[in-house]
């Protein structure tokens, strides 16, 4: 009786439909396998640039454009000591740097390079007191400007805040912080993993000397292990027939896998003084014998957080606002995550214009 419910024609239709679905799945799995195994790596960092200064592994780039400069205050990007900074210039049409260059800004980038074991004794003090000040002076000379704007992304923003607080003599007009943590008291999964009762930072640094990027990447993925370890590959198979998605997947995968060594002494400070002791926001951070006083910051400030950011949640970012003395200061939470604030559809629609519009009004 059950067999009679469906006529032979109905069975054929069902079989054809099922075969079609299986064929589509097979095609997606095949394409996903090609992406992961045989596809060429994508080109990154398309915006033309020139090296104008070097120190050790560090390079200072100036971006080249045929567009006339519309704003007299140059902009310097300061990146984190983790991964490589080309996430800021990932691809044409998906590059914050390209966007700002095309809008007439004189743009520079401080690229820390790839440290080696010989750099294990490098401290945050060295970057804050030696590298950034010299880069700033070089930018001012090269651009023939009297003032400068600085944009710090992630840890680069935290470092930039200390630099600005310790160098009130330098002519910093504008500061932009992008998903940069300042208060580490409620740091969620990071706080649990890095609790000094369980995480012996001295033993880690003493054993390794420099911290491998895989270790840092593993810690980041443990914040949301299912989503970060499996999610991207499930999405790849599900959307393997979408070449636009595949292009973005390959670009981000290249950047995420392109980690660099973290100098041991700087890592010791980052974990102990920030995650374990929360010294910066408490006013207890000391760099080369000088206490970091965030109230020394008087420049115009735009502080951006990502609503969906698990690495630097909004409450960690917003804490800066009450600590600084700036009269012109804005805090904004954008509907993005830690990476999608600088690359992706929301970045191009929201982040890029937000930064450009704010900076345009304060760069002439």
What one-character-per-residue DSSP string does 106-126 give?
-EEEEE-----GGGTT--HHH
For residue 188, count other CB atoms closer than 10 A to its CB. Answer: 12
* Residue in the block written with tokens 């950047």: 255
Q: List all residues 6 or more positions away from 331 whose beta carbon is below 8 Å from its beta carbon.
A: 303, 305, 317, 318, 320, 321
* CA–CA distances in Å: residue 51 to residues 63, 128, 173: 9, 21, 24
For the chain, the residue count is 364
- Three-state SS for 15-63 is HHHHHHHHHHHHHHHHHHHHHHHCCCCCCCCCCCEEEEEEECCEEEEEE
Q: Distances from the Cα of 337 to the Cαs of 108, 229, 308, 334, in angstroms? A: 24, 16, 5, 8
Measured between alpha carbons, how far is 151 from 159 in angstroms, rounded to an integer?
11
Q: What's the CA gap between 178 and 155, in Å, rounded?
A: 9
CA-nearest of 115, 120, 137, 128 to 60 is 137
Closest among 78, 83, 94, 79 to 45, alpha carbons compared = 94
Residues 42-79 have pLDDT tens digits of 999 999 999 999 999 999 999 999 888 999 999 999 99
Lowest mean pLDDT among 7-21, 166-180, 210-224, 283-297: 7-21
Residue 10's pLDDT band, with cuts at 50, 70 and 90, is low
Q: How far is CA 283 from CA 148, 292, 299, 326, in A?
A: 26, 6, 19, 17
Angstrom distance (rounded) from CA 336 to CA 83: 20
CA distances, 128 to each of 19, 100, 136, 157 (Å): 62, 25, 11, 12
Residue 200's Cβ-count burial label (10 Å; 0-12, 13-18, 19+) is: exposed
Q: What burial class does residue 105 get, using C-beta atoms within 10 Å of its C-beta: 0-12 exposed, 13-18 middle, 19+ buried?
A: buried
pLDDT tens for each residue of 72-94? 999 999 999 999 999 999 999 99
pLDDT in tens, 205-258: 999 999 999 999 888 888 888 878 888 999 999 999 999 999 999 999 999 999
Q: What CA–CA distance (Å, rounded) separates 254 from 236?
A: 15
Percentage of the chain exceeding pLDDT 70: 95
- Hey, what are 113's tokens? 């390079």
pLDDT score recorded for residue 13: 55
- Catalytic residue numbers? 154, 309, 338
């Amino acid at each position: 009786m059950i067999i009679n419910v469906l006529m032979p024609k109905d069975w054929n239709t069902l079989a054809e439909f099922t075969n079609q679905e299986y064929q589509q799945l097979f095609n997606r799995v095949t394409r996903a396998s090609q992406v992961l195994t045989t596809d060429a790596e994508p080109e990154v960092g398309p915006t033309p640039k020139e090296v104008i200064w070097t120190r050790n592994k560090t390079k200072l780039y100036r971006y080249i454009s045929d567009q006339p400069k519309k704003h007299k205050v140059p902009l310097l990007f300061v990146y984190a000591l983790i991964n490589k900074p080309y996430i800021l210039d990932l691809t044409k049409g998906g590059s914050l740097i390209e966007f700002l260059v095309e809008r007439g800004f004189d743009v520079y980038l401080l690229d820390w390079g790839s440290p080696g074991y010989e750099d294990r004794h490098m401290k945050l003090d060295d970057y804050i007191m030696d590298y950034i000040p010299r880069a700033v002076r070089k930018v001012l000379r090269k651009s023939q400007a009297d003032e400068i704007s600085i944009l710090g992304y992630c840890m680069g923003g935290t470092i930039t805040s200390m630099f600005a607080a310790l160098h009130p003599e330098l002519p910093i007009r504008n500061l932009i912080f992008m998903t940069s943590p300042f208060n580490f008291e409620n740091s969620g999964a990071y706080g649990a993993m890095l609790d000094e009762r369980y995480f012996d930072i001295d033993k880690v640094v003493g054993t390794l000397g420099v911290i491998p990027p895989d270790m840092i990447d593993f810690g980041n993925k443990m914040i949301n292990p299912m989503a970060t370890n499996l999610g991207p590959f499930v999405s790849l198979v599900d959307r393997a027939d979408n070449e636009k998605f595949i292009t973005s997947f390959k670009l981000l995968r290249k950047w995420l896998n392109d980690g660099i060594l973290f100098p041991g002494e700087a890592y010791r400070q980052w974990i102990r003084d920030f995650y374990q002791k929360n010294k910066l926001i408490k006013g207890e951070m000391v760099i080369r014998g000088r206490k970091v006083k965030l109230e020394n910051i008087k420049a115009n400030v735009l502080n951006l957080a990502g609503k969906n950011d698990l690495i630097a949640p909004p409450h960690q970012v917003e804490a800066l606002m009450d600590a600084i003395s700036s009269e012109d200061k804005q805090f904004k939470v954008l509907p993005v995550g830690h990476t999608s604030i600088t690359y992706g559809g929301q970045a191009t629609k929201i982040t890029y214009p937000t930064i450009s519009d704010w900076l345009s009004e304060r760069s002439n």
